[in-house]
Homo-oligomer: A and B are copies of this chain.
Amino acid sequence: MTAPTERNARCSVARSLEVLGEKWTLLVVREALWGITRFRDFRERLGVAPDILAARLDTLVRGGVLERHPYREAGQRQRDEYVLTEAGQQLKTVLAAFVAWGDAHRPSEYGPASVYVERATQEPVRLAFLRADGMELDSQDVMSVPGPGALAAAG
């Protein structure tokens, strides 16, 4: 099997998936966006095996999404906590897009698990396509076209 990025090195979706594509990764980022920073908290909240969690955290650190910050609790050895970088914070848009799609097309009887709100007012916000002049567009009126970095015919 050819890895996606060999033939798709120019595609930012493929490059993003190198960091974010494994199943637990975006769930770790979701927790980090809620303020979780410690290994044990990620593990308990996600119910993920420690070796898998360690591997995903490592991928996210190497990918520039999380940074390790040492901390020490009284009477314990020094540990690292995991803090979102600015690039990591900006994954909010990716997560919000997944949440909106999942809530619309894979709804749960419990309602949305994440809600995106304005920090100052806690009022819900939505993700939308905007023109350069700030006008909101319906997603049907938006299309994806190959950009300068798109591969030619065969890719």
Q: When chains A and B are docked, how far (Å) is the Cα of A24 from the Cα of B21?
A: 9
Contact of A97 among B24, B93, B114, B150 (CB under 8 A): B93
CA distance A110 to B8 in the complex (A): 12
When chains A and B are docked, how far (Å) is the Cα of A93 from the Cα of B71?
Answer: 38
Give the size of the chain A interface in residues (CB under 8 angstroms): 98
* B7 lies within 8 A of A99 (CB): no
Oligomer: number of copies? 2
**Residue on B with the closest CB to A30?**
B13
Option from B12, B33, B131 in Cβ contact (under 8 Å) with A118: B131
A47 in contact with B2 (CB, 8 Å): yes
Interface of A is mostly: mixed
Picked from B10, B87, B139, B151, the residue with its CB within 8 Å of the CB of A92 is: B139
- Given A126-B130, A144-B33: A13 and B114 interface contact (C-beta under 8 Å): yes
Residues of B near A74 (CB, < 8 A) are none
Instruction: For residue A63, give the distance in angstroms from its CB to the closest CB of chain B.
Output: 8
Given A45-B154, A132-B123, A8 and B34 contact (CB-CB distance below 8 Å): no
- Given the known interface contacts A87-B104, A131-B118, the answer about A144 and B30 at a Cβ–Cβ threshold of 8 Å is yes
- Residues of chain B within 8 A (CB-CB) of A54 are none
Q: A2-B48, A87-B104 are in contact. List 17 more A-B contacts (CB 8 A).
A: A7-B46, A12-B99, A12-B102, A12-B107, A12-B112, A13-B95, A15-B102, A33-B143, A34-B145, A89-B139, A93-B100, A93-B101, A93-B127, A113-B150, A116-B129, A127-B129, A128-B128
